[in-house]
Amino acid sequence: MVEFNIGITLRKWSERFPDKPALVYEDIPVTYRELNEGANRAACFLQSRGMQKGDRIAVLLNNSPEFLEVYFAAAKLGLIFVPLNTRLTPPEIEYQLNDSGSRLLVFEDTLAGSVEPLVSLAKVEKDKYVCVKSGIPESPGLPGWAADYHGCVRDLPAEEPLPGQPVMIDDDLCIMYTSGVTGFPKGAVLTHQQSFYKNFQNILYSDMRCDDVQLAQLPLFHSGGLFIAATPTISRGATLILRRRFVPAQFALDIEKYRATIVFALTTMWKFVMETGKLDEVDLSSVRVAIIGGERTPESLINQLLDKGLRLMVGFGQTENSAMMMLPEKDTRKKMGSVGIPGFFSEIWIEDDNGRKLPPYEIGEIVARGPVVMKGYWNMPEKTAETIVNGVLHTGDLGYTDEEGYFYIVDRAKDMYRSGGENVYPAEVEKILAGHPKISDVAIIGVPDEKWGETGKAFIVPVKGASITKEEVDEYLQGKVARFKFPTHIEIMESLPMTSSGKIRKMVLKEEEARKIG
C-alpha cells in the first residue's frame, strides 16, 4: 500500500499558502502555517508520552484549533483518533474510553468535572490526562491531576514529526462512535483512505474551491463536523469559519460577516436559525451553496430557505458512510422530499430481505458499497459481519427510488411498527405533521394496542405559545395518509430527547413508554 496520510494535506497547504487562514476561530484567523506547526508540536508531545502507531488517543473538546491540532498530529503519527461527545455523562465517557482502549485523553477544562470521576476507572494511563485551558472566565482552570496542554507543546519543535513506523493510506485514522440511540454506541473505524475518498466526494458535491469560505458550526466530535466540513475544507486549501459552539443568531450574522460561500448546517440547526429572523437581516449573496440534512427535513423548511434565495442541497449519510448521497441544487424543488443521488464514490441501491435489488417505488433497505464505507466496528466482529455483508453496508434505513434513480427515505427499519397487519413507517407521518403550523417538532413510536397489536403514539412539541389537540392532528392528516397510519395517542412535550447531532432519541421515548405500561 501507499505511504500517505491525511496529515500530509495540511503540510502541503502550509507550504503552498502559509499565510492563508485555514480557520477563523471565534473571529481570530489561524493560518495554514500556524495550524500545521501546532499539529507538529502536538505530535512531538504525543511521541514524548510514548504514543506509537496504532495507539488510540481520545479528545473531549469543544470546537477549537487544539481539536484539529491533535487530530492532524494523530494522523501524522499513525495514531487512532477517538473524538468523544462533550454531552456524554461520565459513565458514557468511561465506556468509550475503555472500549477503544485509549491510552491518552485531551480534554477541555470546562469538562474536567466529567473526567475526574474516571481517573481511577478508565484505561487512560495516569500521566496521560491532558487539559486544554479554554480561557472562558467561568472555567474551573487546570486540575492538579492533569498536564497543561499549552504548557506541554509551547516550546516543542514545529518541524514535521518522524513517525516510528510508516503510516499507510489504509491504516486506521479514527474511531467515531455512533450516537448511541439504541444500546451501547458502536465505534465506526474510519481509515485514511476512506477519508480521502470522502474528501473528494464532498468537494465534488459543492464544487469546493481554494478561495471558498465554508461556514459550518457542527461539533467536530461528529462525522458531519470533522469529515464533511473540516477535513475536506482543509484538504482543499479553503477556509473554515469555526466557533466553539453553535449560536443560531451568530451563525446567520457570520454568513454576511465572512462572505461565506458554502454554508452547512443540520436540519435542526437551520430551524433554529430561521426562528431568529436574522436571515432577513443579512446579505446572503455570497452563498454559492447551502447544505441541509442529517435528519428528516420538512418541505416547509426547504421552501423557506429557497425563498430566501439560498441555493440549497439536501444531503444524507450516517457515521458508517457519511455524505453518501446529495440532492443537486438544480433538483431541490423538482425532487422535493428526495435525499438525492449517490455520491461519485458510492454505489447505492434498494434491496429486499433476500438480497434482491428492488425496482423503483418498492420499499426496501438502503445498502451501499464503495471506498467511503467504514472499515467496520471496533472490537465488534459480529456486529460488523451483520452490517457489512460481502462488502455491502446494510444501513438499516428503509427507502425507495423513483424512475430516475433519486432516493427517498421512508424510515429506520427498527422504527417501523405493524398495526392490524399493516406496516406503518412513522417518518412518513412525522414528515406531514412537521408542516402543521402549530407543531414545532414531532416523533411517533409504536405502542401496544389490544385491538390492532400496535398503534402509533405521537410526541408533539407545539410552537411557542400554541396548543394542539388530537382532533386537530387527525384533521390535518385527513386525506394525506391512510387512516390506519394516524397516531391513536398524542402526548404534548416541552422538548424531545435529542442526540448532540440533532437526531431524536426514539429509544428514550420507547423506554419511558414501556415503564408506564409496566
Cβ contact 129:12 at 8 Å: no
**pLDDT at residue 182 tops 50:** no
| Strand duo 80-83 + 104-108: pairing | unpaired
Q: Which triple of cell numbers denotes residue 325?
A: 448521497
Name the CATH topology of 418-517. GMP Synthetase; Chain A, domain 3 (3.30.300)
- Taking the C-alpha atoms of residue 517 and residue 452, their distance in angstroms, rounded to an integer, is 17
Domain with CATH 3.30.300.30 in the chain: 418-517
Q: 507543546: which residue's cell?
A: 153
207-249 pLDDT, tens digit per residue, is 999 999 999 999 999 899 999 999 999 999 999 999 999 999 9
Taking the C-alpha atoms of 514, 458, 313 and 498 in order, what is their torsion angle to the nearest 10 degrees?
A: -40
Which CATH number is 246-412 given? 3.40.50.12780
Please tell us whether the domain made up of 7-17+30-191 is placed in CATH 3.40.50.980: yes
- Taking the C-alpha atoms of residue 503 and residue 317, their distance in angstroms, rounded to an integer, is 13
Cβ contact 39:65 at 8 Å: no
- Taking the C-alpha atoms of residue 206 and residue 378, their distance in angstroms, rounded to an integer, is 31
- Taking the C-alpha atoms of residue 342 and residue 368, their distance in angstroms, rounded to an integer, is 9
Cβ contact 174:81 at 8 Å: yes
Return the percent helix, strand and coil in the chain, to nearest 5. 35, 25, 40
| Strand duo 213-216 + 187-191: pairing | unpaired
pLDDT for the residue numbered 303: 93
What phi, psi does 97 have (nearest 5°)?
-65, -45
| Strand duo 239-242 + 213-216: pairing | parallel
Order the strands of the 487-492 sheet from edge to edge: 439-449, 453-462, 487-492
- Taking the C-alpha atoms of residue 338 and residue 326, their distance in angstroms, rounded to an integer, is 9
What are the Cα distances from residue 205, in Å, to 22, 334, 348, 415? 20, 18, 16, 30
If one counts every other C-beta atom within 10 angstroms of the C-beta of residue 116, the result is 15
Helix (H) or strand (E) holding 230: none
301-353 pLDDT, tens digit per residue, is 999 999 999 999 999 888 899 889 999 999 999 999 899 999 999 999 999 98
pLDDT bucket at 500, cuts 50 / 70 / 90: low
Cβ contact 114:60 at 8 Å: yes
Q: Where would I find the beta strands (DSSP E) of 378-421? A: 388-389, 392-401, 407-412, 417-419
**pLDDT at residue 16 tops 90:** yes
**pLDDT at residue 408 tops 80:** yes
Q: What is the pTM of this model?
A: 0.85
If one counts every other C-beta atom within 10 angstroms of the C-beta of residue 385, the result is 11
Stretch 189-201: mean pLDDT: 96
Stretch 7-17: mean pLDDT: 98
Strand, helix or coil at 204? Answer: helix
| Strand duo 321-327 + 312-318: pairing | antiparallel
Domain with CATH 3.40.50.980 in the chain: 7-17+30-191
Taking the C-alpha atoms of 102, 36, 211 and 27 in order, what is their torsion angle to the nearest 10 degrees?
A: 80
Average pLDDT value over all residues in the chain: 92
Strand partners, 3: 168
- Taking the C-alpha atoms of residue 264 and residue 217, their distance in angstroms, rounded to an integer, is 8
